[in-house]
């Protein structure tokens, strides 16, 4: 019996339950930590049950399967990526708030056990990078980029569903680790030898390894997909230097993904070999060297930083131009700056470990290389300011995020230069100053960018605008909450407080941790506002509908389509003659024209490959984590068979007849003719059905 359960469950035992410790050894500390962990696990299970229950109640399973899970449509895949990101954001923000609360009460104690705290900072970092930021930006690029370059889909739609499946599997694995604990305590960077089996033999590090592996594989595939799409699927006339800046950053991001992700896949694979098969890549003995891991990790890690920030730069470029009613300043300069950043990002990884004992000259070279990146980044900041200059700035929600970004990100750049200086880094490395710095880059940079994109392109994706009162509340709460939560961490870092410490014994830290705790509360309120905003928006979707598809007087091709756009995006692929093609069409009176002739459109057929990847990927990773070898072999076999079977599939496309395309398109054109265009003054009113008065008239009052 015992033998059988070993075979079936591997090393999964009762002690994996989050409340086991509390029952076995009921001290105050273990009860508090047990209740928090059990509550989290209950939320995961309840959430899954509620979603399943609602789907059954409303009979939506079939729609979910047909229109979403098996759909190869880049727009729907993009939306699903963003849904994953938002769910994971919610979890990781709550974790952050718990950690801030712990440190606010943490002078010499607090309520969390060190192990629990270790898991919290590890999952918070892992989720925010791999399962919030990456899916969010992947989703936005997925949704918007093909529309902007005038394509019908990505080059490899099936691979796109596989990418989504891999990310979903990784995210599910991290969620399951709440129910069957523990997760790793090694931080999101997982430095060995701490993560080697000699020190941490449990399942936690294995959860981390496989979740990250799934995510990096997904991103590598995504990168290939984006790059090929941009190279091969631009519409006629859309040469590279006419692409919207967002497409340029997508291209740079894709290139970074292709070259930046594999080092981490390799690093985690080697670490897995160490842990599972007793290899010695990163052990101290038998020829191993932990420094190799650290180099590999940051060979991924630094390009990753720019994978995270470049899409946001692209989003801000669109937003500054659009809400200033003006052409983007210095397009060519911005393209050069973006490329420069992408290239330089591969040359600076060593600044993540100045303190590891290499020679001063090596440190100095990498420090200078790092400061060099500051130049093109600074140029971008000024380009955006000059985009507003002589424009007509409308303070819409995306613009609030963008202005907050401009000021706060610059401050983060300043602290980045401080960290890039080796002699000063020797003082602030590994401290909360570092934590404050990268949050300063990632919250105003990446997250504000993604939230701005969410507000900006939501009407395009769903056909109605997001509610604005809660939207403004969310935006301002994010800005204030960020400042309150992270500026104190700069001070704490300068005062020598290390990162990842569960408590502290220096009373001088207390006022600052209290302030940061208050900031965390404001951020929680911001998240609440985001939820309310979505709820109100869905409620008011008729009033705020923008079916014509151009609610903001957009400049690029995605705004020339209905909202939401049809599966094939464009009934006839457009031809492009300049930058800002849609603005040009509108000013020249050539927008919303009836095409002379319609043709059949061939689109990819639905495929279950994504779902199969998600399920087998998850089960395989889960089996590996808990040593359930039968599960690993079974799911691996299913995945292999599915891949081979896919090779024999012949009905991979679906034809949409010209008549249907014509019918859909002409119905929309009739709507356009019936709709009253609005000026920018009425952008935020119900009158805005998504048709804009031509740009010049709309902008000058």
Partner 1 sequence: MNISNLGPVTGIRGNPGTRLIRCWITLLSITLLAGCSDGHISFLDPQGPIARAQYEHFWFVIGMCLIVVLPVFIFTPLIAWRYRYHGKAVYKPSWAFSKVMDTLIWGVPFVVVAIMSVVLWQQTTTLDPYKPLDGPQKPLQVEVVGFDWKWLFIYPDQGIATVGRLVIPADRPISFRLTSASVMQTFFIPALGSQMDVMNRMVTRLHLKASHTGTFKGRNMQYNGRGFHKQQFDVDAVSPEAFDEFVQRVKQQGQPLGRQAYTALSRRGTSEDVARALGLHGDTVRFSRVSGALFSTIVNSAHADWAAPVARPPRAGPAATTNGDSTHPGTTMPARAIPLRQTTRATSLPQADHQHRETAQ
Q: Which residues are catalytic?
A: 124, 153, 188, 218-219, 302, 304, 306, 317, 351-352, 377, 380, 499
The nearer residue to partner 1, 164 or 328, going by C-beta atoms, is: 328
Q: 321-357 burial by CB neighbour count: b if 16+ within 10 A, else e?
A: bbbbbbebbbbebbbebbebbbebbeebbbbbbbeee
Q: Which of residues 555-614 bind partner 1 (CB under 8 A)?
A: none
Report the relative pairing of strands 653-656 and 601-604 from DSSP bridges.
antiparallel
How many CB atoms are located within 10 Å of the residue 517 CB? Answer: 21
> What part of residues 97-126 is at the interface with partner 1 (CB under 8 A)?
113-115, 118
State which of residues 61, 389, 629, 630 lies at the interface with partner 1 (CB under 8 A).
389
Please report where in the chains the tokens 């995961």 appear, as a residue: 44
Residue from 544, 546, 492, 540 nearest 519 by CA:
492
DSSP-based three-state secondary structure for 288: coil
CA nearest to 620, candidates 51, 109, 142, 172: 172
Among 142, 177, 253, 283, binds partner 1 (CB under 8 A): 283
Q: Read off the tokens for 31.
A: 């009860």
Size of the site for partner 1 (CB under 8 A): 101
Nearer to partner 1, 91 or 351 (CB): 351
Q: Indicate which single residue of 158, 347, 480, 496 sits in contact with partner 1 (rule: CB under 8 A).
A: 496
Establish if 287 lies at the interface with partner 1 (CB under 8 A).
yes
CB of 2 to partner 1, least distance (A): 26
388 binds partner 1 per the rule CB under 8 A = yes
User: Could you give the CA distance from residue 142 to residue 540 in angstroms, rounded to a whole number?
Assistant: 27
Measure Cα distances from 143 to 137, 149, 318, 564, 575 in Å: 10, 12, 15, 11, 20
Closest CA to 432 of 519, 511, 498, 481: 498
Radius of gyration, alpha carbons of the chain: 25
Closer to partner 1 by Cβ: residue 8 or 375:
375
Rule CB under 8 A: is residue 410 a binding residue for partner 1?
yes
By C-beta, is 49 or 414 nearer to partner 1?
A: 414
As a whole number of angstroms, the distance between CA 179 and CA 31 comes to 16
Q: Does residue 372 belong to the site contacting partner 1 (CB under 8 A)?
A: yes
Residue number, 119 or 163, with CB nearest to partner 1: 119
User: In angstroms, what is the minimal distance from the CB of 345 to partner 1?
Assistant: 16
500-529 residues in contact with partner 1 (CB under 8 A) are: 500-508, 511
Q: Residue 26: left (phi > 0), alpha (psi -120 to 50), or beta?
A: beta
Q: Does residue 682 interact with partner 1 by CB under 8 A? A: no
Query: What are the residues facing 464 on neighbouring strands?
Result: 545
CB of 279 to partner 1, least distance (A): 12
Shortest Cβ 120–partner 1 spacing (Å): 12
CB burial of residue 429 (10 Å; 0-12, 13-18, 19+): buried
Q: Looking at beta carbons only, is 102 or 142 nearer to partner 1?
A: 102
Cα–Cα dist 248/148, whole Å: 11
Of residues 78, 135, 182, 187, which one binds partner 1 by CB under 8 A?
187
Nearest approach, Cβ of residue 608 and partner 1 (Å): 42
Residue span binding partner 1 (CB under 8 A) among the ranges 72-80, 215-223, 376-384, 541-549: 376-384
Binding segment toward partner 1, per CB under 8 A, in 8-16, 124-132, 183-191, 212-220:
183-191
Sequence-distant (≥ 6) Cβ neighbours of residue 331 within 8 angstroms: 241, 245, 579
Judged by CB under 8 A, which of 436, 441, 491, 612 binds partner 1? 491
Least separation in angstroms between residue 319's CB and partner 1 is: 13
How many Å apart are CA 482 and CA 204, to the nearest integer?
Answer: 30
Contact with partner 1 (CB under 8 A) among 368, 599, 641, 645: 368
Burial bucket for residue 655 (CB in 10 Å: 0-12, 13-18, 19+): exposed
Q: Which residue do the tokens 């769910």 mark? A: 87
118 or 223: CB nearest partner 1: 118
* Residue in 358, 536, 664, 675 binding partner 1, rule: CB under 8 A: 358
424-483 binders of partner 1 (CB under 8 A): 424, 426-427, 429-431
Least separation in angstroms between CB 46 and partner 1? 30
Residue 647 in contact with partner 1, rule: CB under 8 A = no
Q: Please measure the distance between the N-terminal and C-terminal CA atoms of the chain and give it in whole angstroms.
A: 81
For residues 288 and 595, give the distance between their C-alpha atoms in angstroms, rounded to a whole number. 66
| Residue appearing with tokens 């009253």 | 676
Tell me the closest approach of the beta carbon of residue 344 to partner 1, in angstroms: 12
Residues 198-237 that bind partner 1 (CB under 8 A): 198-199
Min. distance of Cβ 106 from partner 1 in angstroms? 9
Minimum CB distance to partner 1, residue 167 (Å): 27
Stretch of residues binding partner 1 (CB under 8 A), selected from 34-42, 76-84, 156-164, 367-375: 367-375
Map residues 305-344 to x or -, x wherever contact with partner 1 holds by CB under 8 A: -------------------xxxxxxxx-x-----------
Phi, psi of 653 (to 5 degrees): -130, 170
Given candidates 51, 414, 531, 637, which one binds partner 1 under the rule CB under 8 A?
414
CB of 373 to partner 1, least distance (A): 10
Contact between 498 and partner 1 (CB under 8 A)? yes
Are 472 and 339 within 8 A, CB to CB? no
Residue 381 contacts partner 1 per CB under 8 A = yes
Candidate segments 19-27, 128-136, 408-416, 565-573, binder of partner 1 by CB under 8 A: 408-416
Beta carbon nearer to partner 1, 365 or 638: 365
Question: How many CB atoms sit inside 10 A of residue 47's CB?
Answer: 14
Q: What angle do CA 114, 93, 497 make, to 5 degrees?
A: 45
């Amino acid at each position: 019996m015992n033998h059988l359960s070993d075979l079936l469950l591997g090393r999964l035992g009762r002690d994996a339950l989050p409340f086991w410790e509390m029952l076995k050894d009921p001290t105050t500390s273990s009860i508090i930590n047990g209740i928090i962990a059990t509550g989290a696990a209950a939320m995961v299970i309840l959430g899954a049950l509620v979603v399943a229950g609602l789907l059954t109640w409303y009979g939506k399973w079939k729609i979910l399967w047909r229109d979403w899970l098996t759909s190869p449509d880049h727009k729907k895949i993009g939306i699903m990526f963003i849904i994953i990101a938002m769910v994971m954001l919610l979890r990781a923000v709550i974790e952050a708030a718990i950690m801030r609360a712990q440190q606010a009460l943490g002078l010499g104690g607090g309520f969390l056990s060190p192990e629990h705290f270790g898991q919290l900072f590890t999952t918070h970092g892992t989720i925010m990078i791999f399962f919030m930021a990456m899916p969010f930006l992947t989703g936005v690029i997925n949704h918007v980029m093909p529309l902007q370059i005038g394509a019908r889909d990505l080059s490899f739609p099936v691979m796109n569903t596989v990418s989504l499946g891999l990310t979903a599997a990784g995210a599910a694995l991290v969620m399951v680790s709440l129910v069957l604990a523990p997760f790793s305590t090694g931080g999101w960077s997982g430095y060995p030898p701490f993560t080697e089996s000699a020190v941490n033999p449990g399942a936690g590090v294995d959860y981390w390894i496989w979740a990250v592996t799934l995510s990096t594989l997904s991103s590598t595939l995504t990168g290939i997909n984006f790059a090929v799409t941009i190279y091969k699927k631009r519409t006629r006339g859309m040469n590279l230097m006419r692409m919207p800046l967002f497409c340029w950053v997508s291209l740079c991001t894709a290139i970074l993904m292709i070259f930046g992700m594999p080092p981490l896949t390799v690093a985690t694979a080697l670490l897995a070999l160490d842990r599972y098969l007793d290899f010695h890549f990163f052990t101290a003995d038998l020829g191993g060297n932990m420094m190799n891991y650290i180099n590999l990790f940051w060979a991924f890690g630094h390009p990753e930083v720019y994978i995270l920030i470049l899409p946001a730069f692209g989003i801000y470029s669109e937003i500054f131009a659009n809400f200033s009613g003006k052409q983007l300043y210095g397009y060519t300069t911005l393209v050069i700056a973006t490329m420069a950043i992408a290239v330089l990002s591969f040359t600076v990884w060593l600044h993540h470990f100045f303190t590891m004992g290499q020679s001063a000259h090596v440190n100095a070279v990498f420090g200078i290389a790092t400061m060099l990146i500051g130049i093109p980044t600074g140029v971008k900041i000024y380009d955006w300011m000059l985009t507003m200059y002589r424009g007509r700035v409308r303070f819409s929600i995306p613009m609030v995020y963008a202005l907050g970004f401009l000021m706060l990100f610059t401050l983060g750049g300043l602290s980045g230069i401080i960290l890039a200086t080796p002699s000063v880094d020797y003082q602030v490395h590994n401290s909360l100053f570092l934590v404050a710095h990268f949050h300063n880059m990632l919250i105003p940079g990446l997250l504000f960018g993604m939230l701005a994109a969410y507000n900006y392109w939501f009407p395009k994706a769903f056909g109605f605008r997001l509610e604005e009162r809660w939207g403004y509340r969310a935006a301002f709460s994010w800005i204030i909450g960020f400042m309150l939560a992270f500026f104190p961490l700069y001070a704490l870092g300068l005062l020598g407080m290390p990162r990842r410490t569960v408590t502290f014994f220096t009373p001088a830290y207390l006022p600052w941790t209290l302030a940061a705790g208050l900031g965390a509360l404001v951020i929680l309120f911001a998240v609440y506002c985001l939820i309310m905003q979505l709820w109100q928006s869905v409620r008011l979707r008729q009033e705020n509908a923008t079916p014509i598809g151009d609610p903001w007087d957009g400049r690029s091709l995605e705004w020339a389509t209905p909202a939401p756009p049809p599966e094939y995006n464009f009934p006839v692929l457009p031809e492009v003659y300049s930058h800002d093609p849609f603005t040009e069409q509108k000013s020249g009176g050539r927008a919303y024209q009836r095409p002379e002739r319609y043709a059949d459109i061939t689109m990819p057929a639905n495929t279950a490959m994504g779902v199969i990847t998600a399920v087998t990927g998850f089960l395989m990773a889960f089996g590996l984590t808990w040593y359930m070898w039968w599960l690993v072999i079974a799911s691996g076999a299913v995945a292999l068979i599915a891949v081979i079977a896919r090779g024999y599939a012949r009905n991979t496309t679906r034809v949409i007849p010209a008549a249907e395309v014509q019918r859909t398109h002409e119905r929309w054109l009739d709507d356009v003719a019936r709709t009253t265009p609005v000026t920018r003054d009425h952008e935020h009113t119900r009158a805005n059905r998504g048709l804009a008065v031509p740009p010049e008239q709309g902008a000058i009052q």
